Structure 1
Amino acid sequence: MTDLDAKANLHRYLREARRALLGKLDGLSEYDVRRPLVPTGTNLLGLIKHVASMTAGYFGETFDRPFPEFIAALDEDAEPNVDMWATADESRDDVIGLWHRVWAHADATIDALPIDAPGSVRWWGHEPVTLHLILVHMLAELNRHAGHADIVRELADGHVGWRWSGDNLAEGDEAWWAAYREGLESTARKFV
């Protein structure tokens, strides 16, 4: 496999994970994409904003190709979790628009640089990196947050699956899933 093949493969999976995460917003109200459904406040629109913010940094500043817009989370004096939720002044369209602009910038960086291009991550203590390492890191980061989004989406409206409509889950109707879940609960209770 050549370096070009490796870069193309990583970029393809990055784009797939990007679509999967963004797709978790489909069909939900403005309220449902914002509401925190777990104690840490994780919410779908916040996950999109967070990944957009990190993407802007990793594929921008890291390779001396700064994203042209201000990203609050990348400011050294940023408030904790500023990128994990959308303010009342930020609409869904604003956050999704930022997402698209950031990814276009990231795609341009990926296309322009060789896989062994050097960079430096400020928030890692200026650790030297390569484009390859950042592609792998962001693929892991994006898929991790897509997993969070899977759970948050299921809590919001019961919708499950990587793509529409649950094409990577076992076939089963509501009764089948209820029985399956009860079987898991019954097994877990044996360890109380």
Structure 2
Amino acid sequence: MTMEFPEPTVPAAGRAEVFLRYLDHFREMVLAKVAALPEDELRRSRLPSGWTPLELIKHLRHVELRWIEWGFQGREVAEPWGDQRGDRWHVAPDETRDTLVTALRAQGVHTASVIAGTDLATVGVPGPRWEGAEPPPLERVLFHLLQEYARHLGHLDIVTELAGGPIGE
């Protein structure tokens, strides 16, 4: 499913709705680009850094997990860095496009429920995510998530083009 870009001229009920629209848009664009890639490109890297499209999906799921659940909500999370092995992103051989897409979408549903039920000025719960710093308000966390998605979608645009997939939005 691809979504139209959330143009600034489309009315929104408030800032929370704007964040939701952009996060949903960027998440679905990442997933649409990965869905358009042939199976043999999913675990292949076309970049010197070595990351793969499947690793990117898993990374983005963990980014939301770390910033929203482990960070903002202060929940105990078994493997907040479960997208990494050493200094690299990692996807196990038994993890598939379908399971990773399902996990990312489920994380997005959780993020949306937090945004819908929380004032943007609410400060996060103190915990290990903040490494001793004062927790930020939800709005700052969401700005960070948006830049993560936008940046990684741009990276994926290049990888998808190199792999012969669709280009542009």
User: TM-score, normalising length from structure 1?
Assistant: 0.72
Deviation at 1:121, TM superposition (A): 6.7
Misfit runs of 4+, over 6 Å: none
Q: Answer whether contact 2:36 2:165 (CA < 8 A) is retained.
A: no
Distance, in Å, in 2 between the alignment partners of 1:45 and 1:112 is 31
1:73 and 2:78 are equivalent in the alignment:
no
1:90 and 2:74 are equivalent in the alignment:
no
Deviation at 1:62, TM superposition (A): 1.4
Deviation at 1:155, TM superposition (A): 1.0
- Percent pairwise identity: 29
Deviation at 1:8, TM superposition (A): 1.3
Alignment correspondent of 1:46 = 55
1:143 and 2:158 are equivalent in the alignment:
no
Q: 1:148 to 1:121 in 2, by over 3 A?
A: farther
Deviation at 1:59, TM superposition (A): 1.0
Distance, in Å, in 2 between the alignment partners of 1:28 and 1:44 is 9
Q: Answer whether contact 2:71 2:130 (CA < 8 A) is retained.
A: no
Structure 1, unaligned runs of 5 or more: 163-192
- In structure 2, give the amino acid aligned to 1:89: D
Deviation at 1:65, TM superposition (A): 5.6
User: TM-score, normalising length from structure 2?
Assistant: 0.81
1:99 and 2:108 are equivalent in the alignment:
no
> Aligned-residue CA RMSD in angstroms?
2.3
1:35 and 2:41 are equivalent in the alignment:
no
Q: 1:45 to 1:110 in 2, by over 3 A?
A: same
Structure 2, unaligned runs of 5 or more: 1-12
Q: Answer whether contact 1:56 1:67 (CA < 8 A) is retained.
A: no
Deviation at 1:71, TM superposition (A): 3.7
How many residue pairs end up in the alignment?
155
Which protein is bigger by CA-based radius of gyration? 1
Q: Answer whether contact 1:58 1:121 (CA < 8 A) is retained.
A: no
Distance, in Å, in 2 between the alignment partners of 1:121 and 1:9 is 28
Alignment correspondent of 2:17 = 8
Alignment correspondent of 1:190 = none
| Higher normalized contact order (CA 8 Å, seq sep 6+, divided by chain length) | 2
